[in-house]
Amino acid sequence: MSGRPEILWPLFGGLTRLAGVGPKSAQILATAGIEKPRDLLFTLPASGVDRQRRDTIRALNLPATATVVVTVLSHQPPRQKGRPYRVTVEDAATTLQLVFFHARGEYLQKLLPIGARRVISGKVELFDGIAQMPHPDHVVTEDEAAEIPVYEPVYPLHAGIVQKAMYKASRSALDMAPDLPEWIDTALVAREGWATWHAALMRAHAPQSGVDLSPDHPARRRLAYDELLAHQITLALARRQARRGKGRASKGDGHFAAKVLAALPYKPTGAQTRAIAEIAGDMASAQRMNRLLQGDVGAGKTLVALMAMLNAAEAGGQAVMMAPTEILARQHYAGLSGLARAAGVRVELLTGRDRGAERAGKLADLASGAIHILVGTHAVFQRDVDFHDLRLAVIDEQHRFGVAQRAELGAKGEAADVLVMTATPIPRSLALATHGDMDVSILDEKPPGRTPVQTALVSAGRFAEVLAKLRGAIAEGRQAYWVCPLVEESELSDLVAAEERFKRLRAALGEGVVGLVHGQMPPTDKDAAMADFAAGRTKVLVATTVIEVGVDVPNASIMVIERAETFGLAQLHQLRGRVGRGAAQSTCLLMYEPPLSASGKRRLELLRQTDDGFRIAEEDLAMRGAGDMIGTAQTGLPRFRIADLERQAGLMQIAQSDARRLLNDDPNLTSPRGLAVRTLLWLMEQDRAIKLAGVG
């Protein structure tokens, strides 16, 4: 795929080639991410102003925008400095004043000569019973009136750039926009009734009414689809590239798996059985597996991952499971080694804490193949860690590991298969945007033997009642988490909040009963506090959100979340999932500081109604927006200029299947549509895809 097609060159030139954009405005626009004419084309109007001509302002409900023909009656220059300059004009039925601050008299006399007719447009307000239009947006002669659009698009503004300049510059960019060959599947274009790219762009920049500004308007849907299609083609090419990497077929005979299943006290759910089969199918093929295992809190991902790792061991290889923190790695190790023991499979733990002879011994056993399954933190990436035959890498909690780290781990084994687990239910549209290069297995059933958690809302004023309830539960031998709110100012104040709460609970419940864990502690202290709680030595664990992911203490049956309204939905759902892991009836108390905002109330009510993580995630997306929901800083969520993931989730799905089908039928993008898609990739700056397609 040589260079950018010539037809697109003008769109990638400097901004100063556009009407009215000088070096200074170009600099301001660049800070807002508008660096070339192409960026301006994809900056659509955010709203619009109705500038239909009317005869008079008399019947208007003020304040309101009006466009009228007026005759200039008189000028009243200011009597003293700092006062406004006024011009009195009349329309067909009444008079009004045009008001100008810091204006030059001779300029206004030229613009509005007495006795002349002018078309003016702007916001009219009542001030002391007089109708006024401060600083009209437009003042033109009747011959020039056509310059004022009937419905004027309003663009997102940036410091020091006025609407008029944005309008002029975007018109100039539209004049450069070429007619391009159609890259969307013709059947889809017909079904949706979409215009061509060029026509859709023209229409989106010239809305006729508020309806045209909606993401559901055909012109905007079409332009959104172009972005999503380019993104999904990039992911599909990346997926193809990953699968091209020679994989190795790992087909176990089931002898380890059968022993583990026989030792289980329950039968796997239908969803678990399905996921185990999908993964085994991927591992048996000669292509590299790149699969996401997505399951709600407590859906039993660990068993599915273990079955996959046993499959690698049965095939004569090894598997590694990576966790983002040492606490989690230890927990996975405890869970897996218990189950694997039944099958005679050797599981070992490797963390940054292993030193000297102990570490050397583990590394030697790993290199000889004596260890079947290794559990660890990123210490597994270190240079001296060599596997005998690594077949499978399982990565826990996707968002803590970047794509580069996934690749690094894959490189440790000869084309190892990769399975990523996440306990954060992701709405389908986001899963496609962030993991569209992966195949997805979903666990949407809970294993038997779990009691649903009762969720209640309590206002902060009922602290004493909550404390009494806690005291009673401890007397019955139960344990509780107490999660402190996140304090915005700094991590230091989070710490203060947690320590204050710890002191107050310790005073109320007694010495040695309450433990504390927060982000600022040294890892060894954190582990020790968690271990005390897991072993039942402490009964209440006061924590910041460190415990959100993966901590498993079956005896803990109470979760108190303070200032619950300050947390996101997904986070609250994750925290609640820390209880309800044993047979005892569990409770989650959401303490809030009244009065609750409407959205805070809606969030907490939803949690009380459902424990379906996928439903909660969809709602979270609708309420908070995509970038916010996964924390934009760490997401790898693509930045779309037009597409709206919340409102246009369905389009993302169509784009994914279309992209995969296109590459299947035309792997090298050489058909007429394939060549058009290459132009789309250049237009959308999908450089990664262009490199990958060049490989094709």
Give the model's pLDDT for residue 635.
39
Give the model's pLDDT for residue 689.
75
CA–CA gap between residue 251 and residue 314 (Å, rounded): 8
Q: DSSP letters along 573-622, please? A: HHHHTTS--SSS--EEEEEE-SSPPHHHHHHHHHHHH---HHHHHHHHHH
| Assigned token pair, 2 | 């040589």
Cα 28 from chain centroid (whole Å): 27
Residue ranges of the chain that CATH labels 2.40.50.140: 52-148
Give the model's pLDDT for residue 471.
94
CA distances from 326 to 347, 527, 540 (A): 16, 8, 21
Give the model's pLDDT for residue 696.
39
CA–CA gap between residue 589 and residue 459 (Å, rounded): 10
Encode pLDDT of 603-622 as tens digits.
899 999 888 877 787 777 66
Strands 85-90 and 117-127: unpaired
- Which residues pair with residue 50 across a beta bridge? 151
Residue ranges of the chain that CATH labels 3.40.50.300: 255-443, 454-610
Where b means 16+ CB within 10 Å and e means fewer, 629-644 reads: bbeeeebebbebbbbb
Q: What angle separates helix 687-695 from helix 672-683, to the nearest 10 degrees?
A: 150
CATH of domain 454-610: 3.40.50.300
Give the model's pLDDT for residue 551.
65
Cα 463 from chain centroid (whole Å): 35
Give the model's pLDDT for residue 545.
66
According to CATH, the topology of domain 52-148 is OB fold (Dihydrolipoamide Acetyltransferase, E2P) (2.40.50)
Place of tokens 């139960």: 478
CATH of domain 255-443: 3.40.50.300
CA–CA gap between residue 533 and residue 526 (Å, rounded): 11
Give the model's pLDDT for residue 627.
44
Encode pLDDT of 169-225 as tens digits.
999 999 999 999 999 999 999 999 999 999 999 999 999 998 999 999 999 999 999
Low-confidence ranges of the chain (pLDDT < 50): 399, 489, 548-549, 626-636, 695-696
CA distances from 332 to 124, 350, 396, 518 (A): 67, 12, 10, 21
Whole-model pTM? 0.69
208: left (phi over 0), alpha (psi -120 to 50) or beta: alpha
CA–CA gap between residue 546 and residue 529 (Å, rounded): 12
With beta carbons less than 8 A apart as the criterion, state whether 156 and 3 touch.
no
Give the model's pLDDT for residue 121.
96
